Structure 1
């Protein structure tokens, strides 16, 4: 069996894989984690490269052995249970991630986070910082990604420019988190409208329980982003309850704060593009994972959270 240090050889911020599995059994065999599928005539085993994996979503018809969970935990892989197609994300009765247990994660980041978190004005400053970083990241990606430009998601688009400029200007004038959440929702609503127009889906309405492809892909892709955010926070040792924006009603709210750094940039446009092209769930998921790797989404999330932890105490 691989040693614990070998399993963590690849930094989490550099890992490439997220798995969504259904109708299979996850198990440990000969020092590896495998998933078993049953075809009509034979059983097939598939290897999961756990040292290069951030999280695994277990969908309908799955089971997992204790030995497999032990190896996944040793490699620092998060496990989530979900419904079909990756949504909704469920473990027991609430949205949650099953985090690997480790007493040897860094303490500097959670200590830095706690140094500012108990002061409301400092939490607001970090929330504003996250939103500005979100805009900067979108400008960088949408300004350079050729495929997105071909689909109309370009900084040359006047509506996109106006939406981002308007939001960026409003951020600094927010006096509280409630107001920041309101203008953030307005930005996302504007981006939905732009995306729907670009992909000729003019009757689109964002509804989480809707069955149309665009809404389903948005749900699915957002949960992938939540997986990256949960991984980032687990590695840095920051509990999910210490949110800067979403923490009024949801215990895991910091996951949503961190996921927001990349959701609108990498998930939103491709949900509409893939819906227009009548892509399958698997094709959409592969596109999302490719985007995460190509645009170094996990690296960006790590740096944003580390920066907030280090600089927050000096606000």
Structure 2
């Protein structure tokens, strides 16, 4: 088995690691990818297990060598440059991922996606399917996560249950994407209000530029979800521009569509809980990544995208779905 096959032995949907690095240098040394940090009296090298890694975010004060990028690409690891604290993700001023290039990714998923994508009605049907899956994931995660329930966040709370039921009904009745976006915004406000009340954030207002912990954690957690979504789409060979909900004018919009499958279920409540506990940014990041793994968020993204690509609503499609 050659080195390239070795590095991709672990399916992307089963990989456990996301890295966010600051003030460090990423390099290749002795056939491994390492990052170097400068301690008070010495330099410290840390290994990155790239075969079990999906995304590396490079924050302030970081650099990466060409040799390291070559190894990361061979293992199928996405690399993103970002600001302090993981946000914003950028190249210049646009959202950007440095995607590893491979012409041997599967083709059936992008072909299936494009079969429906140019039809407005079918694209709307897929957007609706994503939203219904998003609702069910919230119910599933909030319904079984004992730690969330200990924070007074419950899927069967009367207000939340009614909001989710109402949104599910409205999704089914939506006649255009704009309707979905309006109703999604209303649901998200209701979820913010509920989580804020449960965690004593009485005066919370969502502001992407605010400096309070809850808003900062929401931004940070969302970008981690974007990393998982970008990985899913890259592995399946579907370009980020073929969105079903967030608009055809945004190049990375499909990343947002796919990330939305898990953001409300995991990132939203834990941003408030961790802010209440006054956790550090690193502690919050560890908590979110643990929850992504615990609730198999990446598996769920792969499952939903593959299902819509191969068997979208109102489209006769193949019934098979092979590994990543």
**Distance of 1:206 and 1:248 partners within structure 2:** 25
1:148 matched to 2:148? The reply is yes
1:249 matched to 2:249? The reply is yes
Alignment partner, residue 188 of structure 2: 188
Alignment partner, residue 198 of structure 1: 198
Q: How many residues matched?
A: 315
**Distance of 2:247 and 2:76 partners within structure 1:** 26
Confirm or deny: 8 A CA contact 2:87 2:223 kept in the other structure.
Answer: yes
Confirm or deny: 8 A CA contact 2:138 2:155 kept in the other structure.
Answer: no
Query: 1:247 Cα shift?
Result: 2.1
Larger mean CA deviation between 156-165 and 15-24 belongs to 156-165
SS at match of 2:261: coil
**Distance of 1:103 and 1:163 partners within structure 2:** 44
**Distance of 1:158 and 1:94 partners within structure 2:** 41
Alignment partner, residue 311 of structure 1: 311
Alignment partner, residue 30 of structure 1: 30
- Structure 2: unaligned runs, 5 residues or longer: 318-324
**Distance of 2:201 and 2:40 partners within structure 1:** 40
Q: Deviation string for 1:227-285 (max 9, x for gaps)?
A: 00000000000000000000243110000000000000000000000000000000000
Q: Deviation string for 1:105-134 (max 9, x for gaps)?
A: 000000000000000000000000000000
**Distance of 2:242 and 2:47 partners within structure 1:** 36
**Distance of 1:224 and 1:273 partners within structure 2:** 17
**Distance of 1:152 and 1:232 partners within structure 2:** 32
Alignment partner, residue 138 of structure 1: 138
**Distance of 1:153 and 1:98 partners within structure 2:** 37
1:91 matched to 2:87? The reply is no
Q: Deviation string for 1:204-230 (max 9, x for gaps)?
A: 000000000000000000000000000
Alignment partner, residue 48 of structure 1: 48
SS at match of 1:91: coil
Alignment partner, residue 108 of structure 2: 108
Q: Deviation string for 1:165-206 (max 9, x for gaps)?
A: 111111100000000010011000100000110011111000
Pairs within 5 Å for 1:228-267? 228-267=228-267
**Distance of 1:93 and 1:155 partners within structure 2:** 38
**Distance of 1:208 and 1:124 partners within structure 2:** 28
- Structure 1: unaligned runs, 5 residues or longer: none
Query: 1:22 Cα shift?
Result: 0.3
SS at match of 1:262: helix
Query: 1:153 Cα shift?
Result: 1.4
**How high is the TM-score relative to the length of structure 2?**
0.96
Q: CA RMSD in A?
A: 1.1
1:210 matched to 2:210? The reply is yes
1:225 matched to 2:225? The reply is yes
**Distance of 2:19 and 2:288 partners within structure 1:** 12
Moved over 4 A (4+): none
Query: 1:92 Cα shift?
Result: 2.7
Alignment partner, residue 280 of structure 1: 280
